[in-house]
Every structure is written in structure tokens, then in C-alpha cells.
Structure 1
Amino acid sequence: MVLFGTKGYLYQLAILTLVCGQCGNPAAHTLRKRVTKFTLFFVPLFPISTKYATQCTFCGAEQKVTKEQAEQLQLQAQAHATGGQAHGQPQHQPYQP
């Protein structure tokens, strides 16, 4: 008997302040990576699917993003955390009404 299947993993990559496309509020958004791995005898072997998304912490709306967009958002979060510019990218200023 051979047991195989899939298992999902969720990684939080960054937290950013963005304007939500759903509720319109400037709020913290979590950048997440979902990886589905093939398993054999309950041992995860290799990834079969990787997806990225942001989720608004105010209203809970989730928006899918591409891998390239996720990498850019991570760079923005790292630049903001260090207080400097990362790889020549302009530093984004926080939203002020």
C-alpha cells in the first residue's frame, strides 16, 4: 500500500501598510505565500503549487499577487524596516490624510 497526497503550508513574508482595494482604508496588509507540496507516506517531497496574496487586516479582503509583485512588496517592507533604500528603490512614505 502506497500513501500519497498533498499538504499545504502558509508563510507570512511581510507586513506592509497599503490602501485596501476593498474597503479603501490605509491598513496593515500581510503578504503571504501558500505552498502545496506532494507527500509520500506523509513526508513532504516537492512543491507542486506556489501562490502569493496580500490580506487586509482591517476588512480581511485577500488579493492575489504575482511572484514578481510579492518580491517587490518584500523589498519595500525591508527598506521600510531598515529605514533606508533597498537596491535603488525609492522609499515610500506612510499615508497621511
Structure 2
Amino acid sequence: MIIFGTKGYLHQLAILTMVCGWCGNPAAHTLRKRVTKFTLFFVPLFPFSTKFATQCTFCGGERQIPGEEADRLLAQAAAGQDGNVHGQAPQQPGFTPPGQNPYQR
């Protein structure tokens, strides 16, 4: 008896600040990669499907995107062009890092 099937893996690549196409709010979006692998005797052997998507953290709206756009968004996140580097939250206006007095000049 041969047991085979598939198993899905979900990887969060980055968190980006963008305007949502569903709700219209400027909100954080997670960039995700879903990989489906063929398994034999519960051992993942090779991937046969890779899909990318962004999901709004405000309304939960999800949009499938092509791999080229995912690479472009990942490069923007790595460069910090949206005020966000590798999943760190962007600083709010008026944000003062811990240990600094905002009223001192």
C-alpha cells in the first residue's frame, strides 16, 4: 500500500503598509507565500504549487498576486521604502523611542 498526498506550507514574507483595495484604508498588509508539496509516506518530496497573496490586517481582504509583484514588494520592504523593514511596525507620527524625553531640546 502506497500512501501519498499533499501538504501546504504558509510563509509570511513581510509586512507592508499599503492602501487596501477592499476597504480603502492605509493599513498593514502581510505578504504571504503558500507552497503545496507532494508527499509520499508523509515525507514532503517536491513543491508543485507556489502562490503569493497580500492580506489586509484591517479588514482581512486577501488578493492573489503574481510572483513578480511579490518579488517587487519584498524588495521594497527590504529597502525600507514603505517605512517598514522585515516585519517591524512603522513608527507613528509623534513616536518617541523608549528612554528619550520628547520635551527635551
Q: For this structure pair, what is the TM-score category when the shorter chain's length is used for normalisation?
A: 0.7 to 0.9
Give the deviation of 1:17 after TM superposition.
0.0
Name the counterpart of 2:2. Answer: 2
Name the counterpart of 1:15. Answer: 15
Which of the pair has more CA radius of gyration?
2
Name the counterpart of 1:73. Answer: 73
Task: Give the SS at the match of 1:48.
Answer: strand
Q: What pairs up with 1:1-97 in 2 under 5 angstroms? A: 1-80=1-80, 81=85
Structure 2 gaps of 5+ residues are 87-92, 94-105
Distance 2:39 2:66 in 1: 25
Give the partner amino acid of 2:41. F
Distance 1:69 1:52 in 2: 9
Distance 2:49 2:32 in 1: 14
Structure 1 gaps of 5+ residues are 83-95
CA RMSD of aligned residues (A): 1.4
Give the partner amino acid of 1:52. F
Alpha-carbon displacement from aligned partner over 1:2-43 (angstroms, at most 9, x marks no partner): 000000000000000000000000000000000000000000
Task: Give the SS at the match of 1:68.
Answer: helix
Distance 1:66 1:11 in 2: 16
Give the partner amino acid of 1:49. S
User: Which one has a larger percent helix, Structure 1 or Structure 2?
Assistant: 1
Give the partner amino acid of 2:25. N
Q: Which runs of 4+ in 1 moved over 4 A?
A: none
Task: Give the SS at the match of 1:17.
Answer: strand
